Amino acid sequence: MRQWNADGIIALQSRLREVKSLRLPTVVAIESRRLPRAQCQLVCDNQGMGQMGSKALLAQGFRQFAYCGLEGLEFSEVRGSSFVYALEQAGFPARVYSAPHRNLANSWYTEERHLSRWLLDLPKPIGLMACNDDRARMLSEICHLRGIRVPEDIAILGVDNDEQVCKSATPPLSSIAIATERAGYEAAAALARMMSGRDHSVQQVTAHPTHVVSRQSTDVLAIEDPTMMRALRFIRQNGNRPVRVQDVAAEAGLSRRALQDRFSETLGRTPRQEIHRCRVDRLAHLLVETNMTIGQIAAATGFEIDAHVARFFSRHTGMTPLAYRRKHLAS
């Protein structure tokens, strides 16, 4: 490293001892335990990821939940504890599996036996969040070997949205996307300020979760009531236009009052809240995953003018569409 003649460095936590000897301005990308406050750090919002995972699986109608992590790794433990806590607050327990990070003394075959037993014993159907995409793909492979259907028996949600991992799995894995590119820009900007001597304050750059990228591994509604299934599917298939509660009631073949009662009993929210939730998810997806202008997004989601979509999105998220895009994308 000394031969690089660097003026500053962004380093993994595992290389911190080497980097410290260089006495250079440094931003450390945290892998597990956070460092003392005197060190500029790049961290993940693991708590937010667990919360987002719980909300995504709850929205699918699941009432049974599980989390599979890696013991001894802080990011996994925080994501898991946040996932479990959010579900407990909603009135649902979650089953948790943790095992030591795989090494030479703990072969894939040994872990596969333990995980197989755990997966087979889980009540079905169940929504399962894995600590990351690699763990999710391993679970998916074991399910395939053991005849467990994904997503019908176990819906699997990963974290990181590593497209190579997610799309190569069978079925393709849903995953929580993280604003890693934006965090990288912010870390580089913080390092530039440190190198120039303009900023000596200790900083923490955080990579936040942005949204769930839905693929086949969670493409299921865990609702036994066929009437509710029709209503929810209708709402989700019409996220590109303004749907009214009476439209949903007509599709489900229920009165408006009966529909309200079914939603309250099954999901704990009203039909209007579900319509708005799905519409906000659709808007957030277009803001983060596309380069469409706000006007184009408004037209694609059934809003007459930009101002209407901005007011709607701000009311439900607390920020404007442009602010949301800036927060989750690198400039």
Q: Are strands 26-29 and 9-12 parallel, antiparallel or unpaired?
A: parallel
The answer to whether 112 touches 119, Cβ cutoff 8 Å, is no
Q: Which residue blocks in the chain are alpha helix, DSSP H?
A: 16-20, 46-59, 74-89, 108-121, 133-145, 163-168, 180-196, 226-237, 245-252, 256-266, 271-289, 294-300, 306-317, 321-328
Mean pLDDT of the 229-254 span: 89
Mean pLDDT of the 60-84 span: 92
pLDDT, mean over the chain: 87
The dihedral sign for the CA sequence 225, 227, 232, 233: positive
Spell out the residues 6+ positions from residue 83 whose beta carbon is closer than 8 angstroms to its own. Answer: 50, 51, 53, 54, 65, 67, 94, 129
pLDDT of residue 202: 62
Q: Which of 28, 26, 56, 24 is nearest to 43 (CA)?
A: 28
Homologous superfamily in CATH for domain 46-176+213-218: Response regulator (3.40.50.2300)
pLDDT of residue 73: 85
Structure tokens belonging to residue 192: 């530039």
What's the whole-model pTM score? Answer: 0.78
Tens-digit pLDDT profile for residues 197-237? 876 666 788 899 988 998 999 988 777 788 888 898 899 88
Mean pLDDT of the 140-156 span: 95
pLDDT of residue 109: 79
Do the domains 2-44+179-211 and 46-176+213-218 sit in the same CATH topology, yes or no?
yes
Domain boundaries of the chain, sorted by first residue: 2-44+179-211, 46-176+213-218, 226-328
pLDDT of residue 144: 95
Domain 2-44+179-211 carries which CATH code?
A: 3.40.50.2300
**CATH architecture of the domain covering 226-328:** Orthogonal Bundle (1.10)
